[in-house]
Chains A and B, each alone.
Chain A
Amino acid sequence: MTKNDDSMEISYPPCQAACPILTDAREYIQRIAERRYEEAFNSVRKLNPLPGVCGRICTHPCEAACKRGQVEEPIAIAALKRFASDGPWTGQYKAVLPDKPTGHKVAVVGSGPAGLSAAQDLALFGHQVTIFEGLPVLGGMLRVGMPGYRLPKDVVDEEIRSIADLGVEIKTGVRIGEDFTISDLFDQGYQAVFLAIGAHKDRKLGVPGEEGLEGVVSAVSFLREVNQGENPEVGKSVAVIGGGNTAVDSCRSACRLGAREVHMIYRRGSEEMPAAEEEIREAIQEGVQISYLTSPVEILGKDGKVSALKCIKNELGKPDVSGRRSPKPIPGSEFTLDVDMVIAAIGQAPDSSLIADDVGVTERRKRIIVDGPYTLVTTQPGVFAGGDAVTGPATAVEAISAGKRAAISIDLYVRGKPVPTTEAPKAHETASLPQRLIDRTKTFARSRKASISVDQRLKGFDEVDLVFSEEAATKEALRCLHCYLGAKVDTEKCVSCLTCVRVCPLGIPTTSKMGEITIDAYLCQACGVCVLECPVRAIDINLGSRGEIAQHIEEAISSSKQPGPAIVGFFDLHGNFASKDVESLAQDYPNILPLMVFGLRRLDTSDILKAFEYGADGVFLAACQPDRDPFPKETERVKQRAAHARTLLEALGIDGGRLEIFDMPQEGLVEKESVAEMIQRLGNSGQARSA
């Protein structure tokens, strides 16, 4: 859980705590909600060198941890990351290199996600980095393992280019253990080596017929050919053995290459299947037939070619070491599938024959031994290792994480500093929400990614998923419950008036007998109502704080140089508008000074008065449609405060018509007629005043 008992510890929101590289998803989600897409991208990019890759193929542990998931469905965080990384605004990003290079040389072996992220971070530390890649193409498994319909090659290329732009030297087609050795690297003046060679060697099925028959291939080599555009020939009927993402990738690639029938053979049940649910669903749509609880027994051949696959049905026995129930063959349940191709996708291991002379590897799975998951120090001084080569096949984001950790260790090492052994942080589980809170939380359906039609998909390797539209992305981002951005009580100022306890729409603040108020930062959804209503201003908030609102009002008015009336328009970010609507408002109605707020409910009478105090001639509040508002009842209260403000203005002899409330339209920021009328009216009265 991210709610820490030890208050000294930083409280990460669940999404961030769940991410191997601690991506601040909450931050970029918020920027998207604010229609500040370039900042959203910068937020992703500052930590992650492969945002477009992760936006597409990350296994998004953040979504599993998301608090919203306990209400209806988690925020589509990965799809939002892709949205942030796919727009025209990404070109503006510039990483800042240190003024002076350190002069240290580091070799990175392998250009997969681990190698690339290490290379980037090392370059940012000021070191001279060279990547050595065995294949003719860069990207490791991202490039040769991941089919283009999931991860287009140009996305990988583009992101690698931005890493190369940092001055990273890249050598392709040079294979460690064949073209050079680790000691060669040290001889060439490299002070440290990062081994990120991945796990590219398929495990064998271990059934008769596997060797010697034409039509039996390993998934890794099959996908490598596919992804290098070699269009390998596939059979009419293909059996893919395995239940992971590589198996699904092989099935779906075979479908695209013209296989009429594709069978996926998995030894356990659907519950145990490790492949991503979405991938399985799409595979089925594309015609893949899945045989659960089935194991291969023998590959049968005719004339040296595969002719059939003999299988046996399993039942599930007791859980094995992995915690999954292990399959047990049912005697007499053998059957035969007529296939002419068998693809083995039952796991990969590092090809450690390439480096086993130099660094220690594990006995059974041949993974490179490191002294701890945080230092990544191997058995040879100056040599570090990470990614699949250490962990076995894992996710891209775990590899990126390893690359980043390696960069820190290597940086310390080349500068002659000790590499401290840090413990991996304890895994946090998202704390469960009380039922009463779930009941009081308004639900909003998760935005669905659009995808191309099955017919279109099967014609080639076009990307299946489309990027979110701006509308879908902003709507999705606005579903965020803002964990840990909510209300904080300053106990020194609090007078125990209980207002927060009384106004909270979710019932989160509690009081002790002596009036000590507690607001649970994890449960609070940062609606801001208590912050505003607190009569002694003892509550602050990290999302749209009172100080921020006041500052924005002042800045907006002082920056306005437009002739004619200055009208402050408060817009609810929950409205359905696009960034271009903001631009066109500024263009068409420069007299409107727009201020975006996370809910009009945050505005107090004094905010409205402040606008007048700073020199506004008029103020309007633009309320979003109630069905888009997570707290519509609380928004109603702002109308009462506006009425109060109007009474005060009239008491001062100011026309109450200078303060208006508009409803935001179904699409866009505001009905243009209403604003035009207000500008004209206030313009006229302004002239009357000055006359």
Chain B
Amino acid sequence: MITLEEKKLEEIEKMTKSCGRLLVLGCETCAAMSFAGGQRQVAELASAIRVGRKQSEDQGEVVEDSIARQCEPEFVDLIGDKVAECDAVLSLACGAGVQLLAERFPDKVVLPGCNTSFLGVTEELGVWSERCAGCGNCILDKTAGLCPIARCSKQLLNGPCGGSMNGKCEISKEVDCVWQMIIDRLTRLNRLEMLEEIFPVKDWTPAGHGGPRKMVREDLKT
């Protein structure tokens, strides 16, 4: 899933100040699962903004709504009437959702209520960690299912580096050295010889370094 974090209330208050009637719009998939943009968060944030507006005598009603995913035009269009009645939309979605809203509602102020973080997994309730960098060329078959692009601080393809100490990365004792983990796991799987093959220099074009990415599936297009 894409993980998100709600922005600090101070920042949100500032960006929504004097913007009139405001729609706080939730996104019920990744943002909800990150506890940053589901209906529960919408209610909390909308309430906080109302309290703030009351305090600072800022005018304008704060209304709440939510759609399944703000990254799908069909869902976004379903909220069109409500958006039309508002002066601004505070989107509790990832950057993709915010931008699709802006695209579908060209004359409306659209504001981000969240910071988009990473592609990751839930470790436990309330703890998420990064697992994928979306580099466009998966090598997990060669690295024992552990991604050095997403999880090595230097994104090394032929690690570990000299900064690996007792299984930890030199940047912090909290961070595991993924290369140590790769070696341990390959040893356990009896596949350590896989590391004898040296990775060539990585082509970052599929990762977006060749410009904004777009994916087209001719077989699915209608």
Contacts and interface: CB of A to CB of B under 8 A. Distances in A.
| Pairing of A with B | yes
Given A535-B41, A604-B40, A652 B51 contact: yes
Contacts of B51: 609, 612-613, 649, 652, 654
B165 to A, nearest CB: 34
Nearest to A653: B55
Interface stretch (B28-36, B99-107, B171-179): B28-36
Contacts of B125: 499, 502-503
A651 interface: yes
Contact of A606 (B32, B43, B66, B122): B43
Contacts of B124: 502
B32 A652 contact: no
Contacts of A652: 9, 13, 48, 51-52, 55
A536 B29 CA distance: 9
B151 interface: no
Contact of A495 (B9, B10, B32, B48): B32
Interface in A640-661: 647-649, 651-654
Contact of B54 (A497, A613, A648, A651): A613
Interface residues of B, number: 27
B47 A535 contact: no
Given A497-B32, A503-B125, A648 B40 contact: no
Contact of A535 (B10, B13, B35): B35
Interface string A649-678: 101111000000000000000000000000
Contacts of B29: 495
A534 interface: yes
Interface string A493-523: 1010111001100000000000000000000
Interface residue range, chain A: 20 to 34
A47 B121 CA distance: 54
Nearest to B122: A498
B39 interface: yes
B9 A648 contact: yes
Main secondary structure of the interface of B (DSSP, over half): helix
Contacts of A495: 28-29, 32-33, 38
B40 A535 contact: yes
Contacts of A204: none
B78 to A, nearest CB: 15
Given A499-B125, A535-B32, A536-B28, A648 B48 contact: yes
A537 B124 CA distance: 20
Contacts of B47: 606, 609-610, 612-613
B8 interface: yes
Contact of A613 (B33, B50, B66): B50
A605 B44 contact: yes
Interface of B: 8-10, 13, 28-29, 32-33, 35, 38-41, 43-44, 47-48, 50-52, 54-56, 66, 122, 124-125
Q: Top 7 closest A-B pairs, CB basis?
A: A535-B38, A609-B47, A651-B9, A652-B52, A606-B44, A537-B39, A502-B125
